[in-house]
Amino acid sequence: MRPFTEGIYLKYSQLEHIKNIAEVKHPIIKEALQILEFRTPQIEITTLADIPAGTGLGSSGSFTTALLKALYTHRKRHLHQEELAELACHIEIDRLGEPIGKQDQYIAAVGGVTCFTFHKDDKVTASPLGISMDTMFNLEDNLLLFFTGFSRSASGILKDQNVKSQQNNMEMLNNLHYVKELGYRSQDALVQGRLELFGELMHEHWEHKKRRSGGMSNPQINEWYELGMKNGAIGGKLVGAGGGGFLMFMAHDRSKLRDAMAAAGLEEVRFKFDFEGTKVVMSH
């Protein structure tokens, strides 16, 4: 994190070499450095990502929590998971004005298969699900993720959703309340080990989510989704705000689903569950 010569060195999709925080172009890095009041004459921040931005996997929230964790560790200061998540939310929502919720920052900070309850007073309760190891392994094995090739900014879709909610649009509010209930039913299905029901609830969730905005999906994504449902999927959804990114399916026939998606040109991204949340791998 400390280069040989003085200045701030940033390496992400662009390169920045500047003299002070005020000149930083990357908005999240700039806000994080300002919050910590960095006065170090030399600092280098390099970021690497396995997936592109705008794909619905919470990359922005994950980046913000990871950056804050690294900077606070550099300062030899410890943040609890909830503090880390809240600070990341403060940067993205309060300081940068993004029309997003707190779920990405919290799941990145906390990790695990967790139920998050978002209260009206802005507090968040994280409750790890009491899932059996057998159910957890089967869930991990049968959740498959495929990249559609479309990337997008979530801001437009979420801004429209926020406006309708604040205007007390009953169609939007009823949709959101019903999806919340689907979340509780999905939680119960997982705890009970009923993975087929969980897949069916994913499908029901996606059908309701599509009704929120005309930009939630497109004909090509709908075609791929139907292809998956006819070839081994119990249910699925487009991950994230919508409009592009990744299709996630709950499968009862993994091989058939993988073959169908590969034939359609969709690349699978393999993944494993993380139960530690944001962490420092190496610190000097």
Give pLDDT tens digits for 185-244: 999 999 999 999 999 999 999 999 888 877 788 899 999 999 999 999 999 999 976 778
Residue 45 makes CB contacts below 8 A (sequence gap 6+) with 1, 8, 9, 10, 11, 29, 67, 70
Summary mean pLDDT of the chain: 91
Can you give the CATH number for the domain in which 74 is found? Answer: 3.30.230.10
Residue 94: per-residue pLDDT: 97
Q: How many domains does the chain have?
A: 2
Co-location of 124 and 137 in the same domain: no
The answer on 261 and 141 residing in a single domain is yes
* pLDDT of amino acid 212: 81
The pLDDT tens digits for 49-67 are 888 777 878 899 999 999 9
Amino acid 23: pLDDT: 95
How many C-beta neighbours within 10 Å does residue 4 have?
7
- The percentage of residues in the chain with a pLDDT greater than 70, rounded to a whole number, is 92
Q: Are residues 114 and 158 in the same domain?
A: no
Tell me, what's the pLDDT at 4?
61
Task: Enter the tokens of residue 118.
Answer: 């978002």
Q: What is the pLDDT of residue 11?
A: 95
Per mean pLDDT, which range of 23-37, 85-99, 162-176, 261-275 is the poorest? 162-176
Higher confidence at residue 86 or residue 53? 86
Domain that holds residue 171: 133-268
Residues 197 and 153 in one domain: yes
Query: How far is Cα 197 from Cα 188, in angstroms, rounded to an integer?
Result: 10
- Tally the C-alpha atoms within 13 A of residue 158's C-alpha that lie toward its C-beta: 15
Task: Please check whether residue 275 lies inside any domain of the structure.
Answer: no
**pLDDT of 99-136, one tens digit each?**
889 999 999 999 999 999 999 999 999 999 999 999 99
Three-state DSSP class for residue 217? coil
Would you say residue 18 lies in a domain? yes
Kindly report the pTM of this predicted structure.
0.89
Contacts of 278 (CB under 8 A, 6+ apart): 62, 65, 66, 69, 81, 84, 108, 109, 111
Which CATH number characterizes residue 226's domain? 3.30.70.890
Residue 28 located in a structural domain: yes
The reply to whether 118 and 183 lie within a common domain is: no
Do 73 and 148 fall into the same domain?
A: no
pLDDT band for position 87 (cuts 50, 70, 90): very high
What is the residue type of 207? Answer: E
User: Is there a single domain that holds both residue 155 and residue 68?
Assistant: no
What pLDDT is recorded for position 249? Answer: 99
Q: Based on the domain organization, do 143 and 59 belong to the same domain?
A: no
